[in-house]
Amino acid sequence: MNIDSLQKGIVIDHIRAGVGMRIYELLELDKLDCCVAVIKNARSTKYGRKDIIKIEGDIEVNLDILGFIDHNITVDVIEDGKIKEKKKLKLPHRLRNVVSCRNPRCITSIEPHIDQVFVLSSEKRCQYRCIYCEQEYTDPRG
């Protein structure tokens, strides 16, 4: 398969195989009015298989969402067909509307208009806590 190289845009690379569509949804890439390519199960010498997302144009992506999903993802900013910048990811300190609180008594379960906000409580365990009820969210990969 051949996907043209970008002249200007963003390449989100080294996504764990099968996670590309989740990123597509969380970043709301379907709402963009530009060319977006999602490549699933591409061969990778380092990971075996990986997903890649290429986004054409001058846009910003939410690095917190990407860092939460996998801080090993690479984000390349492309200009004039060349990598202008490689962005490093890390676990974000705060997540807003990325994961939902599982506590049925939490105010976010009762009042759906309230943002789901979690703060990082343990970087080592990739653990977050709801700011309203302290419900724990631990990333299953952590």
Residue 5 has a pLDDT of: 81
Low-confidence residues of the chain: pLDDT under 50 = 142
Query: What is the pTM (predicted TM-score) of this model?
Result: 0.82
The span from the first CA to the last CA of the chain, in angstroms, equals: 34
Residue 70 has a pLDDT of: 86
Give the percent of the chain with pLDDT over 70.
94
Tell which phi-psi region holds residue 71, choosing left (phi > 0), alpha (psi between -120 and 50) or beta. alpha
Residue 44 has a pLDDT of: 86
Which residues fall within 8 angstroms of residue 36, CB to CB, at 6 or more apart? 24, 29, 53, 54, 55, 56
Residue 142 has a pLDDT of: 45
Phi and psi, residue 66, nearest 5°: -65, -40
Chain-centroid distance, C-alpha 115: 18
Nearest to 9 by CA among 52, 50, 60, 51: 60
Q: What is the pLDDT of residues 43-65, one digit of tens each?
A: 888 879 999 999 999 888 999 99
Residue 4 has a pLDDT of: 67
Residue 50 has a pLDDT of: 94
DSSP string, 77-133: EEETTEEEEEE-----SEEESSS----TTSHHHH-TTS--EEEEEETTTTEEEETTT
Chain-centroid distance, C-alpha 10: 13
Residue 124 has a pLDDT of: 87
Residue 1 has a pLDDT of: 55
